[in-house]
Chains A and B, each alone.
Chain A
Amino acid sequence: MKVENKKLTVGSLLGWFVLIAFAVIQIFPLVWLVDFSLASNNEMFTNGLLIIPKVFRFDNYVTAFTDGHFLQYFRNSLLINVLAVVIVLFISIITAFACTRMHWKLSGLVKTIILLGMMIPIHATLLPNYMIYDKLHLTDTIWALLIPYVAFSLPQGLFLTSSFMESIPKELEEAALIDGCGIYRIIAIIITPLMKSSMSTVAIMTFLNNWNEFMMASTYLSSPKWKTLPFSVLEFTGMYASNYSVQFAVMALTAAPMVVIYILLNKHITKGVAMGAVKG
């Protein structure tokens, strides 16, 4: 097989071509974004694909950084998302255990009910949820985001964890049970370590889904206190409607943290998804 790969056949050339074409399509818009974020506003009106700005306007980024509440919103996003991931993981595992391992009549029903959440469009709950949070004085608090984020990530989390859990042999926990281990300890000590790979998949999916969310954030929050990173962009387009290059700068800046995190953790993220699928 190796020998075959080293030969430059028409097929592998074609393969390279396809791969590079896809890569250009996926990445070029982002290059374009960074390019024009360094230009001045009237340089937008060019016929070229990319330009070399007359002056590199790094001050676009300074404006974006200071006026976009960048640090504060980034901190909020990070905090809310990490919390959501932790809660989703915890609840997914205990619920999955109860539904796949334990013996009770309604186990299937409970699982199905929670999995139903996967089919429920999140936007259908926007205004009723607003009214509920308002009654409970939860609007403009971190809970207004955490609760729906967890609730809507849970079905997918449960789905992945429980299908993964089913493939774990029962012998281990049965041995532990005979040694007098309680259910909670079994989950904490035996099951959870075995779930690492599927947990990373759930964590990544939850994180990515909620990182992007802004409809709920813009409805439930009013002060900048808990606003998340997408608001840097959303607020900015109103503030600098007539200055495109600054808008480009804020977009590039807002995208940067995740791109950096992704490139650093690229292997782990891929592996997480990969291992989840191997075992599941």
Chain B
Amino acid sequence: MKKALALALVSAMTLSLVGCGAKTTTTETATTDTAVEATTTENTDSTEAADASTGEPVTLQVFSNLPDRKTGQGLVEQTLFDDYMKENPNVTIEVETLDDEAYKTKFKAYAAGSQMPDLVSVWGQPGFIDEVMDAGLLTELNQDDYKDYGFIQGSLDGFSKDGKLYGLARNTDVMCFYYNQKMFDDNGWTVPTTYDELLALADKINAAGLIPVAMDGGDKWPLDIYVTDLMEKLDGSGVFAKTHDAIANADFSDPSFTKAVDILKDSAKRGLFQKGFETTDYGTAQNLFINAQSAMFYMGSWDMSMAANEDIPAEVRDNIRVFTMPSVEGGKATAANITAWNGGGYSVTESAAHKEEAIKLLNYMFRPEGWTKLAWENGVCMSAQDFSQFATGKETEPQKQFMEIVANATDLSRTPLGDMGSSEFKTVCEDKIQEAAIDKISTQEFYDAIAETCK
């Protein structure tokens, strides 16, 4: 008897839970319309936010992927939060931070629950945001609010769906090789202009007992970006559309796909990267570079803050310079074709407890004199907005170089390969590119595997 009772109890509990889950989803979709109205009427700017300082105490929950609050982007973010709290004494901002991978996991857990934090970090790339937008987890923002914010054209595309805007882009990310100018000069090495020169240089660096390029292959996504980078150099333009179509049709037979991965494999085999690059994580790869163990470091523009980081030995810090992927023989691209995209950003969640206040905070952060100015002045990164007005003339060398690279760019690759598809696509793409890079599987096997997930 007891057994039966117990079973009944369990199934009842299970059912009620499942029921609850379903119910919340329906109410969420039902409230969307009213929420949209609320945001449009609550269209406030920062002066009004200041007026609200007499309001009721509000605690905003922020979930961020920037764990380091003392330097770089995390510092800029925290500074903006602190300023906002100063201007709005009734508002307290509580920040929870996790590293990217852990962040995405926790985000998923939050998404399955009933209430998400008010303001969250998101990535405006299909691999992350599509499922999130489809599930109705993000609040629509009023596009008119941002007319004068100077967002670079196209930078908000990834955060939009069906003409509706669900988030703001934080940065313009450019992929590049950081290099140690002093080490180059001391050894008589020069910046390569073609990929063959890069490989020849790698041989010389290896012969000198140093690591040519420190590569974060353990996190896998830099390898995917490397492929996109090479494709951009091969094709010159249209990489985004080509990749998009390939995923839609589950067909990666286009020769530039194959060639890009082949080049990556050959480069790895020839010793362009450090030994064991496939297991080296971000911190370790960066450490190899800043401790002068490697001559170059393949990473994005968000790491330009290395040039201002007091923890890095001055000998390296003052000699950091950048160049973008050199042109590939037979490729159509020039130096003006760069691999760049607008990835990270913020959204306000649909289930936020203080939606209006969160939108106010978001708008406060992204006024041009907010994130853009602070990030540029601190040499942290390039925002997704027009930052040229904040040029001070005191920029670090990498900053100046990036400014020039972006100013001269004629074509941007946009979203890298791994972030173009579903999250399943991303997972497989990352696992397999790692295996391909160490020659465990062939280029064909790589594309077969990722095509499988597109069906």
| Interface residue ranges, A against B (CB under 8 Å) | 41-42, 44-45, 67, 106, 109, 127, 130-132, 134-135, 139, 218-219, 222-223, 234-235, 237-244
Contact = CB atoms under 8 A, between A and B. Distances in A.
Nearest to A221: B96
A235 B117 CA distance: 19
Contact of B20 (A135, A235, A243, A244): A135
Contact of A242 (B21, B61, B309): B309
22 contacts: A42-B313, A67-B70, A106-B2, A127-B112, A130-B112, A130-B113, A131-B112, A134-B112, A218-B102, A219-B109, A222-B96, A222-B106, A223-B96, A234-B102, A238-B68, A238-B98, A239-B69, A239-B70, A242-B283, A242-B287, A242-B290, A242-B311
Interface in B81-135: 94, 96-99, 102, 105-106, 108-109, 112-115, 117
B67 interface: yes
A130 B109 contact: yes
Contacts of B293: 45
Contacts of B290: 242
Nearest to B68: A239
Interface in B57-77: 61, 63, 67-70
B113 A139 contact: yes
A200 B112 CA distance: 39
A238 B311 contact: no
A242 B286 contact: yes
B282 interface: yes
B8 interface: no
A219 B106 CA distance: 6
Contacts of A218: 98, 102, 106
B105 A42 contact: no
A132 B67 contact: no
Between A218, A222, A234, A243, the greatest number of chain B beta carbons within 10 A of the residue's beta carbon is seen for A222
A132 B106 contact: no
Interface of B: 2-3, 17, 20-21, 61, 63, 67-70, 94, 96-99, 102, 105-106, 108-109, 112-115, 117, 282-283, 286-287, 290-291, 293, 309, 311-313
A184 to B, nearest CB: 21
A45 B290 CA distance: 12
B312 A242 contact: yes
A269 B399 CA distance: 58
A25 to B, nearest CB: 23
Contacts of B102: 218, 234
Contact of B67 (A42, A45, A239): A239
B287 A244 contact: yes
Contacts of A235: 67, 97
Nearest to B99: A238
A43 to B, nearest CB: 10
Given A106-B2, A244-B287, A135 B114 contact: yes
B113 A45 contact: no
Given A42-B291, A239-B67, A242-B312, A219 B105 contact: yes
Nearest to B20: A135
A238 B97 contact: yes
Contacts of B67: 235, 238-239
Contacts of A130: 109, 112-113
Contact of B291 (A45, A109, A135, A222): A45
Nearest to B24: A135
B283 A241 contact: yes
Given A106-B3, A139-B113, A223 B98 contact: no
Contacts of A219: 105-106, 109
Nearest to B286: A242
Contacts of A131: 17, 21, 112-113
Among B63, B99, B115, find the residue whose CB has the most chain A CB atoms closer than 10 A.
Answer: B99
A67 B70 CA distance: 10
Given A242-B309, A243-B311, A134 B113 contact: yes
Contacts of B2: 106
A89 B70 CA distance: 44
A223 B115 CA distance: 15
Given A127-B109, A219-B106, A44 B114 contact: no
B398 to A, nearest CB: 16
Nearest to B117: A222
Contacts of A242: 283, 286-287, 290, 309, 311-312
A44 B112 contact: no
Given A135-B20, A235-B97, 12 more contacts: A41-B311, A42-B313, A127-B109, A130-B112, A135-B114, A219-B106, A237-B99, A238-B67, A239-B69, A241-B283, A242-B283, A244-B287
Contacts of B97: 235, 238
A42 to B, nearest CB: 5
A226 to B, nearest CB: 13
A123 B114 CA distance: 21
| Most chain B CB within a 10 A radius of its CB, from A42, A44, A130, A219 | A42
Contacts of A132: 17
B154 to A, nearest CB: 31
Contacts of B98: 218, 238
A242 B286 CA distance: 7
Nearest to B96: A222
Contacts of A134: 112-115
A242 B282 CA distance: 9
A139 B116 CA distance: 12
Nearest to B283: A241
A218 B282 CA distance: 21
Contact of B283 (A139, A222, A237): A237
Contact of A41 (B17, B99, B108, B291): B291
A219 B105 CA distance: 8
A242 B216 CA distance: 13
A163 B98 CA distance: 44
Nearest to A236: B67
A130 B286 CA distance: 35
Contacts of A67: 70
Nearest to A135: B20
Nearest to B65: A238
B96 A241 contact: no
B38 to A, nearest CB: 24
A37 to B, nearest CB: 16
Contacts of A139: 113
Nearest to B95: A223
Nearest to A43: B291
Contacts of A241: 68, 282-283, 286
